[in-house]
A and B are shown apart, each in its own frame.
Chain A
Amino acid sequence: MKRIVCFGANSDIAKALLRKLAELEPSEFFLFGRQIEELERQKNDLIVLGAKEVQCYRFDAEMKSGQNIFHNMSIDECFSVFDNADYVVLAHGYLPSKVFNDLSEAERTFYVNCLSFIYIIEKTVELFKRQGFGKLISITSVAADRGRKKLGYYAAAKAAVDSFLSAIRQSVAEYPDISIITVKPGFIVTKMTSHIRGPFPSTPEFVAKDIVSAILKNKQVVYTPWFWRYIMLAIKLVPESLFRKMNF
């Protein structure tokens, strides 16, 4: 039996991933998300698929100093509902409508996509160190690899998390049973991206399959679908003098 905690359980990638994990073995789930009614439906689904227990909590990731600005659950409260966890999944995200020149959008993007991640990652690592094992699955984006003008704030926030994750990974190097998994999906058709067009669209189910195999094989950084690793490598190798003139 595994104990699985998921933040942003309503997101399409989390939905698909949790179903795969529920099918794998009977586990206990702690779901945190904004829409509690949706979570209740998800609870039914996971139980039918074989979950032993599912608990749902309303949680909004837009927060300041670990306290939710809408005054619902704080991170500490979230972590007090379970005393240990095998997997912690961070799947919430916000795609801002503006890429530049909008400070409130910038703040919101950083609160949801970056600061809340950092709070939760730190709490999780603290918990993992205490119990001596655990896997943190954190979903960032291929956009984190290099900032582009079409994804201003989003890419910056994701890049910050990305870099923080790699720092954390070093800091837990002496614990062999703790792993920090960075998942970098390419363009996936989900609720978050349903209004935009992107290259090589893929599905949440595909991403979920990749994440499960990454968990089982103990990988550190996963690009999904796999070819994004090489696309992003190529993009990273472009010299800045050329990159600044590129239009994508």
Chain B
Amino acid sequence: MKFTSWGNYPKNLNSCYILSKDELPILNLPFLPYGKGRSYGDVCLTRHGCYILTSNKNFILDLDPQNLLLRVEAGVTLKTILELITKHNLFLPVVPGTQHVTVGGAIANDIHGKSHHLHGSFGNNVLSLKLTTSSGTKELCENSQEFRATIGGLGLTGLIQEAVIKLIRIPGTTISQINKVTLTVEETVSVLEELSSSYTYTVSWLDLLSQKFRAIVMGGNFTDSNTGYKKTEKPALSYPFFFKIINNVTLKILNEIYFLLNQRKHTEFLVDYKKFFFPLDIIDNWNRAYGIDGFIQWQSVLPKDAKLLKECIGIIKKSECVPCLCVLKDFGSIQPKGLLSFPQAGYTLAVDFPVSYDTFKLVEELNKFVADAHGKIYLAKDALLKKKEFLKMYPEVNDFVKYKDRNFCSDLWRRLVE
């Protein structure tokens, strides 16, 4: 089997793997749990190692709709969970931009979503864990230090077997969405904050390719009204092979279409939750559109200061690179539980870049900027961070090392720590 990350960069074709077990075998290779391969850089890759596939551990063990609790095995995807719990009018407090991720991966990367200002990150909603390490299997509860290391622990503290997750109750499965067009960075940021007070889910889409800055800020709330809304189940399309269509020209056209389509909608309208949260899931393997060379998703969080954000966007616009799919979100002040968790109060900007020499140069510059501004780079998407910057962004790593399993290692860990 071929193991890649979603960005197809870096390449790693190591093919030794085992299926998830209750005990770890004795092997002279470093292990790394592998779920759906939806993280971007090298966090889910290990050279000369052995992957532990969690796909066979996909049981939902218990659902308690009264107490809003769900106990699942680590290999269950969020899609499976959502399809089940939406029938009971329940929802996960935190969902990322795709539903094809496993619970294990969501915990190990402490993923966040559009509702950070209310629900925190995924780890904030995990109550307990079952973890298999080289020394055996144990239950971890919320306040232990080992639990904190495992949340956002990049799969290096051991193999997550089971988790108990807190759920939220929703009135219905449709989302009432509102779109607002903004034309400056300051305006975008203030509209984003304004919407955060009345909407559970907020996100903004930026167009960094057009001459003038423009953005669409979106807010959404679950609603039980279904008036004027017909649910249509569309089959997923698939991008069949690696063929690069992303470039300066096609992207400008795509951005223009997207902007025009969303600009027209002034008042609140209804959409299905899948379309609101997982717009890219309608095309399977969309990462192939970046060609065989792959792409880098760069995501950082900057302190709440529109000036810093503007400067950062300035660096991107000045470069020769093609910034595709720029997303800006607002992180609230809820502290993450994990030692290596990414979220902190501030603005988080995510941008995709096709792999090229210019991209490497730009990302290096951006990383330096973020490190100096006391921001952080998201490790689940990182492929190019330097050791020095990493230590500055994640000082808790010295604490984390104590809980890292000696038999687990990833390429990211080799690059940043060893």
Q: A189 to chain B: which residues have CB within 8 Å?
A: 1, 53, 55
Cross-chain contact A201 with B1 (CB below 8 angstroms): yes
Knowing A12-B56, A49-B84, A191-B56 are in contact, say whether A44-B19 is a contact too (CB < 8 A): no
CB distance from A10 to the nearest CB of B (A): 10
Interface string of A88-104 (1 = CB under 8 A from B): 00000000000000000
Nearest opposing residue in chain B for A189, CB measure = B1
How far, in angstroms, from A203 to B58 measured CA to CA in the complex? 13
Q: What string of 1s and 0s marks CB contacts (under 8 Å) between B42-62 and chain A?
A: 000000000001011011111
Contact partner of A44 among B1, B18, B53, B59, CB < 8 A?
B59
Which of A44, A45, A190 is the one whose CB lies under 8 Å from B56? A190
**What B residues does A190 contact at CB under 8 A?**
19, 56
* A48–B84 CB distance below 8 A: yes
Instruction: Give, as a whole number of angstroms, the nearest-CB distance from B189 to chain A.
Output: 42
Interface membership of B63, Cβ < 8 A: yes
Does B55 contact A203, Cβ atoms closer than 8 Å? yes
Interface residue B17 (Cβ < 8 Å from any Cβ of A): yes
Determine which of A12, A48, A194, A203 lies in contact with B60 in the assembled complex, contact meaning CB atoms within 8 Å.
A48
A130 at the interface (CB under 8 A from B): no
B62 touches A48 (CB 8 A): yes
Chain A residues closer than 8 Å to B15, beta-carbon distance? 197
Report the bound CA distance from A182 to B354 in whole Å. Answer: 46
Contact A48-B63, Cβ < 8 Å, known A12-B56, A189-B1, A201-B1: yes
Chain A residues with CB under 8 A of B1: 189, 197, 201
A197 CA to B16 CA in the complex, in Å?
10
B206 to chain A, nearest CB (A): 36
A15 to B413, CA, bound (A): 35
Contacting pair A194 B18 (CB below 8 A)? yes
Interface-central residue, B59, B60, B61, B84, by most chain A CB under 10 Å: B59
Q: How far is the CA of A189 from the CA of B73 in the complex (A)?
A: 19
Listed residue (B15, B55, B73) with the most chain A CB atoms within 10 angstroms of its CB: B55
- Write out the residue numbers on chain B whose beta carbons fall within 8 Å of the beta carbon of A203: 55
Residues on B with beta carbons closer than 8 Å to the beta carbon of A201: 1
Q: Does the CB pair B60–A45 fall under 8 Å?
A: yes
Interface extent on A, as a size class?
10 to 19
**Which residues in B have their C-beta under 8 angstroms from that of A44?**
59-62
A41 at interface by CB-CB < 8 Å: yes
Is A42's CB within 8 Å of the partner chain B?
yes
How many A-B Cβ pairs are below 8 Å? 38
> Contacts of B58 on A, CB cut-off 8 Å?
15
CB < 8 Å neighbour of B59 from A23, A42, A194, A197: A42
Docked pose: A49 CA to B15 CA in angstroms: 33
Report chain A residues within 8 Å CB of B17: 194
User: Whose C-beta in chain A lies nearest to the C-beta of B85?
Assistant: A48
Residue of A nearest to B87 (CB): A50
Option from B19, B61, B83 in Cβ contact (under 8 Å) with A194: B19
Name which of B1, B17, B18, B61 has the most chain A CB atoms within 10 A of its CB: B61
Q: Which residues of A contact B63 (CB under 8 A)?
A: 48
A193 to B, closest residue via Cβ? B19
Which residues of the other chain, A, contact B56 by a CB distance below 8 angstroms? 12, 15, 190-191
How far, in Å, is A189 (CB) from chain B's closest CB? 7
CA–CA, A214 and B17, complex, Å: 31
Chain A residues with CB below 8 A from B55, complex form:
189, 203
Which residues in B have their C-beta under 8 angstroms from that of A194? 17-19, 53
Contact with B along A39-77 (1 / 0, CB 8 A): 001101100110000000000000000000000000000
Enumerate B71-91 residues with CB–CB distance to A below 8 Å: 73, 83-84
* Closest beta carbon of chain A to B165's beta carbon, Å: 13
Q: When chains A and B are docked, how far (Å) is the Cα of A191 from the Cα of B58?
A: 13
Which of chain B's residues has its CB closest to A198's CB?
Answer: B1
Whether B61 lies near A45 (C-beta < 8 A) is yes
| Inter-subunit contact A191/B61 (CB<8 Å) | no
CB interface residues, A 142-186, toward B, < 8 Å: none
Bound state CA distance, A194 and B1, in angstroms?
10
Report the bound CA distance from A189 to B3 in whole Å: 14
Inter-chain CA distance A175–B159, complex, in Å, is: 51
The answer to whether B59 and A45 have CB atoms under 8 Å apart is: yes
Interface string of A195-210 (1 = CB under 8 A from B): 0010001010000000
Interface residues of B in 8-45 (CB under 8 A from A): 15, 17-19
B18: chain A residues within 8 A (beta carbon): 194
> How far apart are the CA atoms of A95 and B83 in the complex, in Å?
34
> Bound complex: CA of A191 vs CA of B19, how far in Å?
7
Closest beta carbon of chain A to B240's beta carbon, Å:
14
In the complex, chain A residues whose CB is within 8 Å of the CB of B73: 41
Closest residue of B by beta carbon distance from A37: B22
Interface centre among A15, A48, A189, A203 (most CB of B within 10 A): A48
CA distance A52 to B20 in the complex (A): 29
Contacts of B19 in A (CB 8 A): 190-191, 194
Which chain A residue shows the least CB distance to B62? A44
Q: With A and B bound together, what is the CA distance between A15 and B18 in angstroms?
A: 18
B321: min CB distance to chain A, Å: 36
The chain B residues found within 8 Å of chain A, CB to CB, are: 1, 15, 17-19, 53, 55-56, 58-63, 73, 83-84
A interface list, Cβ under 8 A from B: 12, 15, 23, 41-42, 44-45, 48-49, 189-191, 194, 197, 201, 203
Give 19 A-B pairs besides A191-B56, A194-B17, A194-B18 with Cβ atoms closer than 8 angstroms: A15-B58, A23-B83, A41-B73, A42-B59, A44-B59, A44-B62, A45-B59, A48-B60, A48-B61, A48-B62, A48-B84, A49-B84, A189-B53, A189-B55, A190-B19, A194-B19, A197-B1, A201-B1, A203-B55
23 intermolecular pairs with C-beta atoms under 8 Å apart:
A12-B56, A15-B58, A15-B59, A41-B59, A44-B59, A44-B60, A44-B62, A45-B59, A45-B60, A45-B61, A48-B60, A48-B62, A48-B84, A49-B60, A49-B84, A189-B1, A189-B53, A190-B19, A191-B56, A194-B17, A197-B15, A201-B1, A203-B55
